[in-house]
Amino acid sequence: MLAPNSNSKVTMTSAVSFQGVSRHYGSVRAVDEVDLEIREGEFFAMLGPSGSGKTTSLRLIAGFEQPTKGHIEIFGQTAEGIPPYRRNVNTVFQDYALFPHLNVIDNVAYGLMVKGVARAERARAAVEALALVQLPGYSDRRPGQLSGGQRQRVALARALINKPKVLLLDEPLGALDLKLREQMQEELKALQQSLGITFVFVTHDQGEALSMADRVAVFNAGRIVQIGSPLDIYSRPASRFVADFVGSSNILPPDIVRRLAGQDGWASLRPEMVRLTGTASDGALQARVVSTSYLGSTTRVTVDADGLRLHASLAAGTPLPAVGETVFINFDRQNLHIMEGEQ
């Protein structure tokens, strides 16, 4: 068990709390003064590019790393110095880490075997866990006989069999093809909702984070630069980094923003909010079409407005302007989001 902390500032409805947490490797600040609270029972995503600090933060929760400074609590109990096996958390790794010489049921039951649970009892629990992840009848197969999606489910069953209060997922869908990845996103979200336990999901894929998470923390250079719902993160990015990293966005400089909206600061305008017309109107920007890219359900149109490159996302069936054609950029002013910071 984790050690109680009588001075805890968080309630028992907080699954994980970071208070000024840093993890340094010499001069490298992998995690730098992070404050974070993950609520009990939520699907929480840590999103960011490689080296942003998200995976190190996950490892700090798991106990594979210890903070250089700061304080971590898991359900109101101090986590520093507590080894991984004494934390009520389990981790699903990116490479799944299955034992190739064990069959599926023994892989799933491994954690219970280490705890000394009787063979019949752990076999029953493993069968139940496999049914939970939609793999009944796969008990006798070896990992090498499974597809990538099936191995992912086995790793998930192995983590869930110990009934953790927090499940940590370190980019578990990264090795899957697009169709299977989308299917597993739906299944993971449905599983989390049915179990009601806290999921902490690390990814560099903004589509995964937005489609599954209740809240998203965007990491950059060891710090959290924004936390919010997927809608908040996408529609109201706090900075140019968030706007550019989470989906595609048109970043408008202050002089253009003052001209179009009469406000100061950098602004974000999502391509799907842009309308292209052939006639001028009040407040419209004149531009020249540079290129068009067919993407199936949409076509991406790149335009140049006096050196400012902007993108519009047009729905399938919308008449397309020709490359070189002059167009006028229009949008509803409420869709122009003024950001808090330039970076």
How do residues 150-170 score in pLDDT, each as one tens digit? 888 899 999 999 889 999 999
What pLDDT, on a 0 to 100 scale, did the predictor assign at position 224?
97
Residue 9 reports pLDDT greater than 80? no
Burial class (CB within 10 angstroms; exposed 0-12, middle 13-18, buried 19+) of 293: exposed
pLDDT at 343: 55
The β-bridge relationship of strands 215-220 and 43-47 is parallel
Pairing of strands 77-78, 275-277: unpaired
Query: How far apart (Å, rounded) are the C-alpha atoms in residues 310 and 160?
Result: 46
Torsion of CA 58, 157, 131, 184, to 10 degrees: 40
pLDDT for 341: 60
Q: Which residue has the tokens 């710090």?
A: 223
Nearest to residue 240, comparing CAs of 260, 218, 255? 218
**pLDDT over 50 (residue 131):** yes
User: What does the pLDDT average to over 36-45?
Assistant: 96
Residue 286's CB is within 10 A of a number of other CB atoms, namely 12
**What letter would DSSP give residue 97?**
-
Angle at 335 between CA 330 and CA 341, to 5 degrees: 115
Question: pLDDT at position 122, please?
Answer: 92
**14-18, 123-127, 181-185, 237-241: lowest mean pLDDT where?**
181-185
pTM: 0.88
For the chain, which domains are there?
3-244 (3.40.50.300), 249-338 (2.40.50.140)
Q: Model confidence over 240-253: pLDDT tens digits?
A: 999 999 988 999 99
Question: CA nearest 297: which of 285, 320, 279, 315?
Answer: 315
Enumerate residues 6+ apart whose C-beta is below 8 A from 43.
189, 192, 199, 201, 212, 213, 214
Q: What is the pLDDT of residues 312-336, one digit of tens each?
A: 999 998 899 999 999 999 999 899 9
| pLDDT-based confidence at residue 7 (cuts at 50, 70, 90) | very low
Question: What's the rounded mean pLDDT across residues 22-38?
Answer: 96
pLDDT tens track for 43-74:
999 999 999 999 999 999 999 999 999 999 99
Q: What is the mean pLDDT of the chain?
A: 90
Please spell the DSSP secondary structure of 140-206, one letter per residue. T--GGGS-HHHHHHHHHHHHHTT--SEEEEESTTTTS-HHHHHHHHHHHHHHHHHH--EEEEEES-H
Q: Quickly state the pLDDT bin for 4 (edges 50, 70, 90).
A: very low
